[in-house]
A = this chain, B = another copy of it.
């Protein structure tokens, strides 16, 4: 049921948001179960957690959903998924230059989207 709600939800949902959704179908569900299940989905490789820096863990689908970074508008909150393969390579190089073996990275770009810029 939780998996279903998660898969149906487009974008990046928090456990809290999913809880509100699922409660509509089954008011008896507890939020601890949502938190637990989302962690399980991450372990199972179905979900990936993302950190936008606001203290809330959001989840996005992982299946057929390649790695990407995020571009967020600080005004309206809209977010775009982006990837730049050159940046990815340079990150590898950068880490290697410092003797690090790179496991993963987090990159979030904050700015103003076209809409909000023109206002």
| A67 beta carbon closer than 8 Å to chain B | no
Q: A55: shortest Cβ distance to chain B, in Å? A: 7
Residues on B with C-beta less than 8 A from A114 are 99-100
Which bracket fits the contact residues of A? 20 to 34
Residues A111 and B102 in contact, CB atoms below 8 Å apart: yes
- For window 15-30 of A, CB contacts with B under 8 Å fall at none
Residues on B with C-beta less than 8 A from A64 are none
The one of B71, B93, B101 that contacts A112, using a Cβ cutoff of 8 Å: B101
Considering the chains assembled together, what is the distance between the CA atoms of A35 and B86 in angstroms? 39
- A100-B114, A101-B117 known; A109-B87 Cβ under 8 A: no
Considering the chains assembled together, what is the distance between the CA atoms of A55 and B94 in angstroms? 25
Residues B107 and A106 in contact, CB atoms below 8 Å apart: yes
- Who on chain B is nearest to A103 by CB? B111
Q: List 21 A-B contacts (CB under 8 A).
A: A51-B53, A71-B95, A71-B100, A84-B91, A86-B90, A87-B90, A91-B107, A95-B111, A99-B113, A99-B114, A100-B109, A100-B113, A101-B112, A102-B109, A102-B110, A103-B111, A104-B110, A104-B111, A105-B109, A107-B107, A107-B108
